[in-house]
Amino acid sequence: MRLGLKLFLGFFLIAGVAAFFVMRVFVNEVKPGVRQAIEATLVDSANLLAEMAAPDLAAGHLAEGPFAAQLARAMRRDPDAMVWRFPKHHVDYRVVVTDARGIVVFDSSGRDMGRDNSRWNDVYRTLRGEYGARSSPEDPANPDSPSVMHVAAPIHDPADPARLIGVLTLAQPNRSIEPFIVASQRSILRQGAWLVAISALIGLLATWWLVHGIGRLQRYARAVSAGEPVAPPPPRRDEIGDLGQALEQMRRKLEGKAYVEQYVQSLTHEMKSPLAAIRGAAELLQEPLPEDDRQRFVGHIQAQERRLTETIDKLLALAEVEQHGWLQKRGPVDVAGLLQQALDEVAPAAQARGVSLRLEANAPLPALEGDAFLLHRALVNLLDNALAFSPAGGTVVLGATLREGRLHVQVDDAGPGVPDYARERVFERFYSLPRPDAPRSSGLGLPFVAEVARLHGGQARLDNRPEGGARAALVLPPAAR
């Protein structure tokens, strides 16, 4: 199971179980809570009615007295009330009064006159000076019928408050409050469902946030292990960000060590040949020589010194672009100005070799985003190569076109082209081909060009033209709009 799914299920399980138990407690507490509140109201109402019924019960005419008449009028009233979305059009109370023996002497419903209620808990306990209440089925013959809540209050003789003369029981069917209980439970369940859904969404977002950061670290680690240049993970102010920075520091140290070892080996290998030539020429110069030979050996030493200097300079330039693996500077680049600046820089060398330069660019050219300095150096390298392989009287053409959504900056020369055996190796470090009238180059110019192209999300190419000569190209993506 994937880590993201484990995190999400774990979070959802915790939130879901907590929400389930909380909702269960709330739902289970709604019914008794409402009934307890109703019971408290019935206690107040029963005591109030008991005090009102006391004079008529003491006088012996409760069923025909003012209390019964007023109560009958109240029972016939239509409250015409809207209680929490539920209409109420009748009074649900039932009033039963028993004498001191527990015999019913008044029933607002007229059903149980003369019945002995002394065995019922509400009357039984009240006659003994205790709080009496009970809940019984609405239909005694059907135990499954809705229950009715009964709350009793003692009736005392107005002339002798210490003497108990009866019990007033106030009853209310639970079915009258059931809609409120059901609506409350549904509301709790609905809000609970929203709570679970929001918890799941929060869990999903939190899981995505964590997995996204871990996934970036994973892709970064894979790219590093595969030897691919890759930008470090973006900074984050948490443990994942700290881990990413630690991985980047480790990569830098490990790659820096390997990078130095590789370049020291490469540089040592490349320096052997010119140093051997310098040493041989220096040994010969220690002997007496004709002036022409001495000048020839001095020139040979100077040429090898230039070769070493060029190799070191280009190796440092290549190391500069390779050490980070991503662009350190990025900004808008004027392509037309870039092409013209590159031509202007190599113009003196072209004039010295007797080679013409020409610019062919289809306007308007798309904008580029990148490092203008690196792109300039890459173009100068391509132009230098083209000049080195072009014969006197030839023409080097620098052009730029937009094809298939990418900018192609290409340099055409009139030289011998690239041999088939060398086409796969021209972008290797230190690999170079013999030039018509100059010593081999350092073999670092085209690797530098390829690295600059890669840093800009493009690629470098070197192909032969059908009409003769070679075409070197930088294929770059235009700037995002």
199-213, 276-290, 339-353, 430-444: range with lowest mean pLDDT: 430-444
Asked whether the predicted pLDDT for residue 7 surpasses 70, the reply is: no
Two structure tokens written together for 252: 């830098």
Give the mean pLDDT of 51-67.
93
- Enumerate residues 6+ apart whose C-beta is below 8 A from 11: 199, 203, 206, 207
In this prediction, residue 18 carries a pLDDT of 67
**How far is the C-alpha of 194 from the C-alpha of 202, rounded, in Å?**
12
Give the mean pLDDT of 159-181.
88
* Per-residue 3-state assignment (H helix, E strand, C coil) for 379-424: HHHHHHHHHHHCCCCCEEEEEEEEECCEEEEEEECCCCCCCHHHCC
* Residue 44 pLDDT level (bands cut at 50, 70, 90): very high
* Residue 123 pLDDT level (bands cut at 50, 70, 90): very high
Domain residue spans of the chain: 3-183, 229-325, 331-476
Two structure tokens written together for 67: 């209390």
Asked whether the predicted pLDDT for residue 472 surpasses 80, the reply is: yes
Question: Which burial class, exposed, middle or buried, applies to 434 when counting CB atoms under 10 A from its CB (0-12, 13-18, 19+)?
Answer: exposed
In this prediction, residue 254 carries a pLDDT of 56
This prediction's pTM = 0.44
* Residue 319 pLDDT level (bands cut at 50, 70, 90): low
Asked whether the predicted pLDDT for residue 80 surpasses 60, the reply is: yes
Average pLDDT of the chain, as a whole number = 78
126-130, 188-192, 326-330: range with lowest mean pLDDT: 326-330
In this prediction, residue 328 carries a pLDDT of 62
**Highest mean pLDDT pick, 61-65, 334-338, 343-347:** 61-65
Two structure tokens written together for 78: 């239509």
Give the mean pLDDT of 237-252.
68
* Residue 310 pLDDT level (bands cut at 50, 70, 90): low
Q: Are strands 406-412 and 395-403 parallel, antiparallel or unpaired?
A: antiparallel
Give the mean pLDDT of 59-70.
92
Give the mean pLDDT of 416-428.
79
Asked whether the predicted pLDDT for residue 54 surpasses 90, the reply is: yes
In this prediction, residue 143 carries a pLDDT of 77
The CATH number given to 229-325 is: 1.10.287.130
In this prediction, residue 130 carries a pLDDT of 95
Please write the tens of the pLDDT for every residue from 263-296.
Answer: 555 555 456 556 666 777 777 777 777 877 777 7
In this prediction, residue 327 carries a pLDDT of 61
In this prediction, residue 267 carries a pLDDT of 54
Q: What is the DSSP letter of 111?
A: S
In this prediction, residue 16 carries a pLDDT of 66
Dump the DSSP string for 320-383. HHHTTSS-S--EEE-HHHHHHHHHHHHHHHHHHHT-EEEEEE-SSPPPEEE-HHHHHHHHHHHH
Asked whether the predicted pLDDT for residue 147 surpasses 60, the reply is: yes
In this prediction, residue 128 carries a pLDDT of 94
Give the mean pLDDT of 297-308.
71
- Higher pLDDT residue, 409 or 215? 409
Give the mean pLDDT of 371-391.
83
* Residue 228 pLDDT level (bands cut at 50, 70, 90): low
Give the mean pLDDT of 392-407.
86
In this prediction, residue 439 carries a pLDDT of 58
Asked whether the predicted pLDDT for residue 203 surpasses 80, the reply is: no
The CATH number given to 3-183 is: 3.30.450.20
Q: Which class is domain 331-476?
A: alpha beta
Place of tokens 């408290």: 40
In this prediction, residue 407 carries a pLDDT of 86
Give the mean pLDDT of 1-8.
59
Phi (first) and psi of residue 219, to 5 degrees: -65, -40
